[in-house]
Amino acid sequence: MKCYEIYRRYSLEQAVEDFEFKLNKEVFLANIIQCDEGGYFAEVIGCKGCMAQGETLDEIKENIQNALRSWLEVLREEEPQLYKTWRSNNKARA
């Protein structure tokens, strides 16, 4: 099942874990949801569209961190002004 299909079916009330992690000295939070069909789905809060899937909790935690790295790289390369705005807003919340 694709991430966006899972995202449409589940709500944050079904989150099994809030996963807080550091990347490049910044702290991020992802909601992890256990899927009825098995496996897990996660989305990073404040990073629209940054999602991942995994079969185990360890795998989803690794996958969501990799997804965030890719998300930030694409944002920085393809939308540099939006990236600067996102960085400024993110630092203001810290």
Secondary structure, 3-state, the chain: CCHHHHHHHCCHHHEEEEEEEEECCEEEEEEEEECCCCCEEEEECCCCCCEEEECCHHHHHHHHHHHHHHHHHHHHHHCHHHHHHHHHHHHHHC
Q: Give the confidence band of 7 by pLDDT, cuts at 50, 70, 90.
A: low
- What is the count of structural domains for the chain? 1
Q: Give the confidence band of 91 by pLDDT, cuts at 50, 70, 90.
A: low
pLDDT digits (tens, 9 = 90+) for 34-90: 887 888 999 998 888 899 999 999 999 999 999 999 999 998 899 888 888 877 776
Compute how many other C-beta atoms are within 10 angstroms of the C-beta atom of residue 59: 14
Q: Give the confidence band of 10 by pLDDT, cuts at 50, 70, 90.
A: low
pLDDT digits (tens, 9 = 90+) for 14-40: 667 778 788 777 888 998 988 878 889
Q: Give the confidence band of 2 by pLDDT, cuts at 50, 70, 90.
A: low
Q: Which domain holds residue 77?
A: 3-93
What CATH number should be reported for the domain holding residue 79?
3.30.160
